[in-house]
């Protein structure tokens, strides 16, 4: 019986040490380079669709979790249907920003329209970020978000088939309503 108990304890100890490996991201607040994004935001956006230009009201909420080792972004865009006068959702997205433990790069994992994309977040200027998504068999979409004007978030979405010529398909301007 003592042998069985010893075996169980050793097995559990080994299992625990294997499954509790640290990602080597032990610092708290690793998302500090992006904290200028935190808060609740509201404003307007437009996007080009197959049906033409669509304008919408946007609300975004960006907040920290797990000692700010990750940041969460929740976005919702709505418009009024002119025929029914009902509110229609045109943008419903969820994203998680984190420091990738393998690459040590800021990363965005975005969920929208039952799709998942993983993109590196580049700090291209002070309070200006960019990320790109490859669209299979079509090209690349890139998004540039500028927070350099106090309490303002301006975003431009662009598309390219060749990675050199970019066409804007989205514009957004939001104002921070709460930290």
Q: Which CATH architecture has domain 26-178?
A: Beta Barrel (2.40)
Identify the residue whose tokens are 């921070």: 176
Please determine, for residue 6, whether its predicted confidence score (pLDDT) is greater than 70.
no
Give the contacts of 128 (CB within 8 A, at least 6 positions apart).
Answer: 144, 145, 146, 147, 148
Q: Tell whether the model's pLDDT for residue 44 goes beyond 70.
A: yes
Checking if the pLDDT of 85 tops 90, the result is yes
Residue 132's CB: how many other CB atoms inside 10 A? 17
Instruction: Using the predicted structure, report yes or no on whether residue 76 has a pLDDT greater than 80.
Output: yes
Query: Is the pLDDT assigned to residue 92 strictly greater than 60?
Result: yes
**What pLDDT score does 61 carry?**
99
């Amino acid at each position: 019986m003592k042998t069985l108990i010893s075996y169980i304890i050793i097995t559990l100890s080994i299992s625990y040490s294997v499954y509790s490996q640290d990602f080597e991201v032990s610092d708290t607040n690793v998302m500090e380079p992006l904290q200028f994004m935190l808060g609740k935001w509201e404003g307007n956006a437009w996007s080009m669709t197959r049906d033409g230009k669509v304008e919408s009201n946007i609300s975004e909420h960006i907040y920290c979790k797990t000692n700010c080792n990750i940041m969460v972004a929740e976005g919702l865009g709505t418009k009024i249907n002119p025929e029914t006068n009902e509110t229609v959702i045109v943008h419903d997205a969820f994203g998680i920003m984190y420091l990738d433990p393998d690459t040590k790069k800021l990363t965005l994992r975005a969920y929208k329209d039952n799709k998942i994309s993983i993109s590196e977040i580049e700090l291209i200027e002070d309070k200006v970020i960019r990320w790109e998504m490859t669209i299979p068999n079509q090209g690349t979409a890139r998004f540039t978000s500028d927070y350099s004007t106090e309490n303002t978030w301006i975003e431009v979405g662009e598309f390219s088939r060749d990675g050199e010529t970019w066409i804007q398909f989205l514009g957004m301007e939001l104002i921070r309503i709460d930290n």
